[in-house]
Amino acid sequence: MVTSSKIFRYDQIAKQLEDSILNNILKVGEKLPSVRFMSKQQQVSATTIFKAYYQLEAKGLIEARPKSGYYVKFRHEERPTPVNKSNSQPSVKSVNTNEIIQELEELRNSENIIKLSSAVPSPKLLPIAKLNKSVVEALRDEKNLLLKYTHPQGNHELRRMLAQQLMNWGGNFTPEDLVITAGCMEALNISLMILTQPGDVIAIDELTYFSIHQAVERLGLKAVSIPVTANGLNLDFLRKAIDQYPIKVGLFVTNFHNPTGTCLPDLQKKELVELMTAKQIPIIEDDIYGELYFGKSRPSTCKYYDTEGWVLYCSSLSKTIAPGYRIGYCQPGRFLEQFAHQKRILSLSTSSLPQAALLNFLKKGRYDFHLRKLRKALHTQALRYSQCILQYFPVGIYFSVPEGGFNFWIEFPKGFDSYKLFKAAKHQQISIAPGQIFSVEPTFRHCVRLSFAEPFTEEIEASIKRLGELAEQFMNN
């Protein structure tokens, strides 16, 4: 009878707290009462309160922060519905998110906009003349071969050069292990296609590139959002999610995460691979920013720790050398045959000319030199931009300088509407990326992704200053 009473009490306490969260009495980000306080208030043992909090944590409603306590994390409707329910539906973005994305995409090719939203290298940082020369030389050397389809897995020599490049982080692959794709997004899409069915549950970063969310929705999948902090991926949360949901695959951006700039520590990558391999759950690894590190050495990858082929490693040359060429690639591990088959069905082969041009560029030994120059430029720009943000943005924001990639993730106080800032900036001919497009939930409406991909100029400084003035106006109102 004693055991029954205790179970009833922690269920009851958990239900009361859950109702408070759902009714916005306890709001996202707010701290729950301490275990000691709740124990005295409810006249129960601390163990009973811990059990109630653990139940809420397992549901994804709260999170434990070391040496701080428990905080409200998700509302109930933000969690995926288990697939064994007949009325289960995939998570849906807020009403206007796709419209915001469309607005942002329309600004991409505008000549009159100061682009502080685009996570691709500025053309000013690319060796355009040398790339054009590579195109000419490829046309001359290959002649009529470029009019034919390439092998479905891609140009064999290009795959060999990419295999050499992957040795930078310890990759040990043959050309036959790789498949060339139309950018990294095609590699991610194919990976999802071969590993999931509509209705399946997958684990993804809580914040991630908006096209990944769109791919999840298009394929009829449900996503469990795994928190990403400055310390990396919340593996404890992932373990509980795996126990609670039939997760079929995990899709994670491991290095210089878009939009937050976070880089998973190498030890955590190893732990992630060990966890997922033990459960035989594949990992789709998006390492599109891995070469853009500012430190002395390149960060490792999940694929480096993969001994059984459960990691599908996806990347591209879009973020480093030629965005418009759309050359990506995948090392699908044990899923190579399925991946190559789906690639043939989807597009037969990747365009011949961009492959030949980039092969020419890589063979001339220009790529490593370009990367060193690009990394130095981006690091300098990150520091210059950050100084301006500190100088011109209002007090009360939070951001950190990333150790690679293109992006700052700026957090304003709760209640700040980043979409209003986006609209006001647009009228000033400045493009930024509002935070809600990177999540299926409305939790991050107070955040902004700001890119430092454009070389720092007086015009850039003036634009950041104007953004800061607009932000301060919205914060004061």
Residues 50 and 7 both lie in one domain = yes
* 190 falls within a domain: yes
Segment (H or E) for 447: strand 447-451
Q: For residue 128, which of 359, 375, 322 has the smallest C-alpha distance?
A: 322
* 80 falls within a domain: no
CA 430: distance to chain centroid?
23
**What is this structure's pTM?**
0.78
* 14 falls within a domain: yes
Residues 135 and 269 both lie in one domain = yes
* 224 falls within a domain: yes
pLDDT of residue 12 exceeding 70: yes
Cα(432)–Cα(242) distance, rounded to whole angstroms? 35
252: Cα within 13 Å, side-chain hemisphere: 30
Final residue of a domain: which of 365, 395, 415? 365
Residues 339 and 394 both lie in one domain = no
Cα(345)–Cα(190) distance, rounded to whole angstroms? 10
Look up residue 250 and give its amino acid: G
Domain that holds residue 38: 2-75
Cα(16)–Cα(240) distance, rounded to whole angstroms? 22
pLDDT tens digits along 265-301: 999 999 999 999 999 999 999 999 999 999 989 999 9
- Average pLDDT score, the chain: 87
CA 179: distance to chain centroid?
22
Residue 65 vs residue 427, higher pLDDT: 427
Look up residue 37 and give its amino acid: F
Beta bridge partners of 284: 251, 312
Most confident of 36-40, 334-338, 398-402: 334-338
Instruction: Assign 42 a pLDDT band (cuts: 50, 70, 90).
Output: confident
Angle at 214 between CA 208 and CA 217, to 5 degrees: 115
Instruction: Assign 476 a pLDDT band (cuts: 50, 70, 90).
Output: confident
Q: For residue 54, which of 38, 77, 70 has the smallest C-alpha distance?
A: 70
pLDDT tens digits along 313-340: 999 999 999 999 999 999 999 999 999 9
pLDDT of residue 79 exceeding 70: no
Read off the DSSP letter of residue 40: H
Residue 114 vs residue 6, higher pLDDT: 114
Number of domains in the chain: 3
Q: For residue 429, which of 106, 103, 107, 101 has the smallest C-alpha distance?
A: 107
What is the Cα Rg of the chain in Å? 24
pLDDT of residue 252 exceeding 60: yes
Residues 183 and 327 both lie in one domain = yes
- Give the range among 65-74, 318-327, 399-408 with minimum mean pLDDT: 65-74
- For the chain, percent helix, then strand, then coil, each to nearest 5? 50, 15, 35
Beta bridge partners of 249: 202
Residues 137 and 286 both lie in one domain = yes
Using a 10 angstrom Cβ sphere, with 0-12 exposed, 13-18 middle and 19 or more buried, the burial of residue 353 is: middle
Looking up residue 467, the CATH number of its domain turns out to be 3.90.1150.10
Cα(290)–Cα(185) distance, rounded to whole angstroms? 16
Residues 181 and 324 both lie in one domain = yes
Report the pLDDT averaged over residues 357-384. Answer: 92
Residues 273 and 185 both lie in one domain = yes
End-to-end CA distance of the chain: 57
pLDDT score of 27: 64
Strands (E), 222-356: 222-226, 228-229, 232-233, 247-253, 283-286, 311-316, 328-331
Tokens representing 228 are 């990403």
Residues 352 and 445 both lie in one domain = no
Residues 273 and 169 both lie in one domain = yes
Length of the chain (residues): 477
Contact 455, 381 (CB under 8 A): yes
Residues 64 and 6 both lie in one domain = yes
Final residue of a domain: which of 317, 336, 365? 365
Sign of the Cα torsion 155, 161, 166, 172 reads positive
Final residue of a domain: which of 365, 391, 413? 365
- Give the range among 34-38, 224-228, 368-372 with minimum mean pLDDT: 34-38
pLDDT score of 28: 61
Residues 209 and 358 both lie in one domain = yes
Report the pLDDT averaged over residues 91-111. Answer: 68
Report the pLDDT averaged over residues 349-376. Answer: 91
The 3-state DSSP class for residue 31 equals strand
Residues 281 and 404 both lie in one domain = no
Query: What does residue 413 show for φ and ψ, rounded to 5 degrees?
Result: -60, 150
* 324 falls within a domain: yes
Cα(99)–Cα(422) distance, rounded to whole angstroms? 13
* 448 falls within a domain: yes
* 91 falls within a domain: no
Q: For residue 63, which of 252, 263, 311, 229 has the smallest C-alpha distance?
A: 229
- Residue that is written with structure tokens 């930078």 in the block: 168
pLDDT of residue 92 exceeding 50: no
